[in-house]
Amino acid sequence: MYVAVKGGERAIDNAHAFLAEERRGDMAVAEIGTDQIREQLRLAVNRVMAEGSLYDPDLAALAIKQARGDLIEAVFLIRAYRTTLPRLGHATPVETAQMAVTRRISATFKDAPGGQILGPTFDYTHRLLDFTLMANGEAPNAPQALTKASPVPHITTFLGRDGLIEAAQPDDTPPPDLTREPMELPASRATRLQAITRGDEGFILSLAYSTQRGYGRTHAFVGELRIGMVEVEMDIPELGFAICIGEVELTECETVNQFKGSKTEPPQFTRGYGLTFGQNERKSIAMSLVDRALRWKELGEDFTGAPAQDEEFVLMHADNVQATGFLEHIKLPHYVDFQSELELIRKLRAEAMAQNEAAE
Amino acid sequence: MDKSPQMSSPAPAPMARPDWLGLLARSRPAHLAALMPDPLPDHHLLRAPEIGAVMLRGRAGATGAPFNLGEMTVTRCSLRLSCGTVGHGYVQGRDRSHALRAAALDALLQTAEGAALQTRILTLLAAAEAEARQTRAAKAAATKVEFFTLVRGEDA
């Protein structure tokens, strides 16, 4: 018999009040401002924007504060908020070749035109705790150098000129949007890229690492990694022309991968692609490896059973809001489900014991 | 027409409408508000400031087929001045007064007052943006690697 129960309302209210107090922490310590989070925890903000799939640093900072630093909870808050926004349209694809780069490196060409620009990177730091940050450190001051506006062309265009790498042919097929229509399998590359760029960084990182260790190996080199600001353009119907509606920081990674060649294609390099909101290079590199691994069918490679080659496995498990929702729901009341399980096991035990007694 | 870059005091070319709309979209709301304080000119709202999202797109391999990258917050507003001129504002973020101000300025820039406002407001916004971009580019340039080849033993 199912008995409807009520109650717990007071307990829930008090739990929320307790949560709010714990979020604030020791009142003797100054409260953290969302502007401080936005400016000083920028990589956390970037991750929340990328996985929340909404570029708005102020909102991401607020979500991080509200979630007490739980970034997946913050992503959840951003995803919930974005569903309340009317969709004003879509922008024209960003021109990453026009990016104002703050970081741009190539692991394949030392003398790449445009140069190797290290930018604000953790690379080459010693990973030693800096105790001056605990005290009141000096205001840091980055040196500046004279610049002349010079183009920073994509590395792959040099390989493409000699036909040494597959072309990324211009194409204006409108991409499917998995926030609007359910994802269908097999998925297009456009759907895969959308799912991976908003997917969980840890999951995408582990999949990419698994390909490096041999589960769907693709022999990736980072042809180029670039981070910087890109203008966003959109056609405005009431104006009748396109205007810039803002600018966003993006991280782009292009990998250069081995390829044997086929009956129709001479041997040439292939490519994987990663593009994420904000300075987010671990995610962007991982994205390009997973993108390349998922292209096995299109490139006529063998399916080795590796998780990173398995489109359904990757796409259905990449979203951390879906994953955490399903995982964490099992802690919520399942009293009735469990009651039926309990009755079943009592019945089975009683039958088994009766049989044992009869046999003796 | 003299196009010599050595001209002593080059009059800045007037900015075209798509360019000023882009500049207003990217400008800091507080900076625009400081340059264009209340009260705004008399107007009739055609579309009250509305916060929404625009889906951004990338291209596979930077040049291939487009894919949906994620959304960005945008606020838009449309209004008509008492003289009948219509202005539109599309600005990044969720600041309604920023969008309203951008739409009002877009309309004013199309009127006879436009030339004066270009000098009084647009050039200052553009200068602030150019300076911020230049500073960031200069910091990046300072991190550019200058490779050099070590002298090998047999060359000495």
Nearest to B58 among A53, A93, A147 (CB): A93
Tokens of A182: 């359910």
Cβ contact, residue pair B94, A170, below 8 Å: no
Cβ contact, residue pair A56, B93, below 8 Å: yes
Of the pLDDT bands very low, low, confident and very high (cuts 50, 70, 90), residue B154 is low
Tokens of A94: 């960003």
DSSP assignments along A338-352, one per residue: HHHHHHHHHHHHHHH
Residue A263 makes CB contacts below 8 A (sequence gap 6+) with: none
Of the pLDDT bands very low, low, confident and very high (cuts 50, 70, 90), residue B5 is very low
Question: Residues of A numbered 321-350 whose beta carbons fall under 8 angstroms of chain B's beta carbons: which are they?
Answer: none
Asked whether residue B124 is assigned to any structural domain, the reply reads: no
Of the pLDDT bands very low, low, confident and very high (cuts 50, 70, 90), residue A194 is very high
Of the pLDDT bands very low, low, confident and very high (cuts 50, 70, 90), residue B9 is low
Cβ contact, residue pair A168, B91, below 8 Å: no
Nearest to B72 among A50, A55, A173 (CB): A55
Which pLDDT value is given to residue A266? 83
Cβ contact, residue pair B140, A177, below 8 Å: no
In 3-state terms, what secondary structure has residue B57?
A: strand
φ, ψ for residue B33, nearest 5 deg: -65, -35
Residue A96 per-residue DSSP state = G
- CB B69: neighbour CB atoms within 10 A? 27
Asked whether residue B121 is assigned to any structural domain, the reply reads: no
Asked whether residue B71 is assigned to any structural domain, the reply reads: yes
Q: What is the mean pLDDT of residues A15-20?
A: 96
The pairing of strands A54-55 and B66-81 is parallel
- Residue A21, pLDDT > 70, answer yes
In 3-state terms, what secondary structure has residue A103?
A: strand
Which pLDDT value is given to residue B2? 43
Tokens of A356: 């044992």
Mean pLDDT of chain A: 93
Put simply, whether A17 touches B (Cβ < 8 Å) is no
Of the pLDDT bands very low, low, confident and very high (cuts 50, 70, 90), residue A4 is low
Asked whether residue B125 is assigned to any structural domain, the reply reads: no
Report the DSSP beta bridge partners of residue B80: B44, B86
Q: What is the pLDDT of residues B103-141, one digit of tens each?
A: 999 999 999 999 999 999 999 999 999 999 999 999 999
Alpha carbon separation from B58 to A94, A170, A318 (Å, rounded): 5, 12, 19
- Residue B43, pLDDT > 70, answer yes
Q: What is the mean pLDDT of residues A264-274?
A: 89
- Residue B3, pLDDT > 50, answer no
Asked whether residue B87 is assigned to any structural domain, the reply reads: yes
Q: What is the mean pLDDT of residues A236-259?
A: 95
Alpha carbon separation from A212 to A8, A88, A207 (Å, rounded): 50, 41, 9
Q: What is the pLDDT of residues A38-84, one digit of tens each?
A: 999 999 999 999 999 999 999 999 999 999 999 999 999 999 999 99
Q: The complex's ipTM?
A: 0.93
Q: What is the pLDDT of residues A100-158, one digit of tens each?
A: 999 999 999 888 888 899 999 999 999 999 888 888 777 788 999 987 777 788 988 88
Put simply, whether A238 touches B (Cβ < 8 Å) is yes
More confident: B1 or A153: A153
Tokens of B117: 């406002």
* Neighboring chain B residues of A55 at a CB cutoff of 8 Å: 56, 70-73
Residue A320 makes CB contacts below 8 A (sequence gap 6+) with: A51, A72, A75, A199, A200, A203
DSSP assignments along A115-181, one per residue: --B--S-STT------GGGTS-PPPP--------------THHHHHHTT-B-------PPPP-TTTS
Contact A301, A314 (CB under 8 A): no
CA dihedral A275, A310, A179, A90 (to 10 degrees): 40
Asked whether residue B100 is assigned to any structural domain, the reply reads: yes
Asked whether residue B149 is assigned to any structural domain, the reply reads: no
Q: How far is A166 from chain B (nearest CA, A)?
A: 10
Of the pLDDT bands very low, low, confident and very high (cuts 50, 70, 90), residue B10 is low
More confident: A268 or A259: A268
* Closest chain A residue by Cα to residue B58: A93
Q: How far is A303 from chain B (nearest CA, A)?
A: 22
Which pLDDT value is given to residue B6? 47
Question: Residues of A numbered 85-144 whose beta carbons fall under 8 angstroms of chain B's beta carbons: which are they?
Answer: 85-94, 96-97, 100-103, 110-111, 115-120, 142-144
Share of chain A above pLDDT 90, in %: 76
Cβ contact, residue pair B88, A239, below 8 Å: yes
Question: A196, A244, A250, A226: which is closest to A91 by C-alpha?
Answer: A244
- Residue B7, pLDDT > 50, answer no
Q: What is the mean pLDDT of residues A245-268?
A: 88
Q: Which of A159-163, B11-15, B137-141 is predicted with the least confidence, judged by mean pLDDT? A: B11-15
Domain that holds residue B110: 17-116
Cβ contact, residue pair B143, A118, below 8 Å: yes
Question: A254, A258, A266, A256: which is closest to A301 by C-alpha?
Answer: A258
More confident: A359 or A196: A196
Q: What is the mean pLDDT of residues A209-219?
A: 93
Which pLDDT value is given to residue A147? 79
Number of domains in chain B: 1
Q: What is the pLDDT of residues B48-77, one digit of tens each?
A: 999 999 999 999 999 999 999 999 999 999
Task: Give the angle B20-B22-B25 at the CA atoms, nearest 5°.
Answer: 110
Q: What is the mean pLDDT of residues A308-320?
A: 97
Tokens of A43: 């990589």
Asked whether residue B136 is assigned to any structural domain, the reply reads: no
Integer Cα distance of A78 and A54 in angstroms: 7
Which pLDDT value is given to residue A161? 85
Q: What is the mean pLDDT of residues B69-98?
A: 97
